[in-house]
Copies of this chain bind each other. A is one copy, B any other.
Amino acid sequence: MKAARLHAYEFQGWHPRPGDRPLVTEEVPEPQLMGHHDVIVRIAGAGLCRTDLHIIEGIWKDITQRTLPYTLGHENAGYVEDVGDAVTMVQRGDAVICHPLASCGYCEACRRGEDMYCTASYFPGLSADGGFAEYLRTSDRAMVKLAEGIDPIELAPYADAGITAYRAAKKAARVLRPGDWAAVIGVGGLGHIGLQCLHVLSPASVIAVDASESARELARTLGAEAVVSGSERVEEVKEKTGGGCQVVMDFVGELGAEAHSIQMLRQGGTHIVIGYGGTTRVPTIDIIFSEIAIVGSLVGNYTDLSELMKLNEQGRVRLHARRYPLDEINQAISDLDQRKISGRGVLVPA
């Protein structure tokens, strides 16, 4: 089958230049069933994520300790092709979206429904071969069956970008009340979903912050109650929200946003960290005086994905995606790096 594989790291700070082919699309053997609960998925669409760029750079090298070459792609959706002998929950032909982690189901975390903390899992596209290919091997624990009539292709980015935004919005919603303001810093692939989830899950008004005019336009279309043109405009945010935000969801996490986010908070406010790259620095006296909370959010669990699929079915959350054929993956990577993709890029193998 065809797969887009990484043969060499380009190292930290790397950006694709014209002619670069960081991933090689080549013929590889199809994945085989190896365990009782394995599932082979025929990929309909696979989302391209900023984390893929970071993997190519080499930032994740020491964490994943993968031997090269291997296939990237951790936002996967498609059709069940084959199943292991103990699989009962899906069968050949089912349309599915894949939770990114293949978890064990038996550790303490799995038994609490906190799949992301599984102590015996693998992560296709990160620690194992992923979905930039015609077929993917994962576990039946990752399968979320799609409702009748739902096309898997353009859903793929929900598998990671979607649940990451959704889980963070759930954390936000727990503390938001009528009259409150929640800021969405960065209205990109994740942020535009987070904004919609906030409106569905909470009664708060949303102030969207992004330096890009097209991102702000998207935010307005999606119903943001206020829009600001950059995270450094802390005073403007404070003014528009009557004194600061009860929640700031930071989808950027670097380039200053991680500091501005905290400055935008009202006393007792919550800063939810989703984007990464920078460093949070706060004097302990400020943490206490403002009695703020700085809360990380890590992807999402199976239940998060399955709830998000219900919102998608109901038309209450919509994903903006752009398709690329699998063998144009290096173009897609370049476009993502240059922020030319509005919403999310999806690779289509067929």
Contacts and interface: CB of A to CB of B under 8 A. Distances in A.
Contacts of A331: none
Contact of A284 (B140, B254, B310): B254
Contact of A291 (B36, B202, B297): B297
Interface string A151-169: 0000000000000000000
A273 B284 contact: yes
A302 interface: yes
A55 B280 CA distance: 28
Interface string A300-316: 00110011101100101
Interface of A: 36-37, 85-86, 88-89, 105-106, 108, 111-114, 116-117, 140-141, 177-179, 200-203, 205, 250, 253-254, 258, 267-268, 273-285, 287-298, 302-303, 306-308, 310-311, 314, 316
- Nearest first, the 10 closest Cβ-Cβ pairs linking A and B are A179-B310, A287-B296, A291-B298, A36-B86, A253-B284, A276-B285, A178-B307, A276-B284, A294-B294, A113-B113
A274 B288 contact: yes
A278 B302 CA distance: 39
A184 B140 CA distance: 38
Contact of A178 (B280, B288, B311): B311
Given A36-B86, A89-B106, A276-B284, A111 B298 contact: no
| Count of this chain's copies in the oligomeric assembly | 4
A113 B110 CA distance: 8
A295 B298 contact: no
A177 B308 CA distance: 10
A200 B203 contact: yes
A288 B276 contact: yes
26 contacts: A36-B36, A36-B85, A89-B106, A111-B303, A112-B303, A117-B267, A117-B291, A178-B314, A179-B307, A203-B311, A205-B314, A250-B284, A253-B285, A254-B284, A273-B284, A273-B287, A276-B283, A276-B287, A279-B284, A280-B280, A287-B296, A290-B296, A291-B296, A291-B298, A292-B296, A293-B293
Nearest to A106: B89
A269 to B, nearest CB: 10
A111 B302 contact: yes
Contacts of A140: 106
A273 B288 contact: yes
A204 B276 CA distance: 32
A225 to B, nearest CB: 9
Contact of A288 (B108, B288, B296): B296
A288 B298 contact: yes
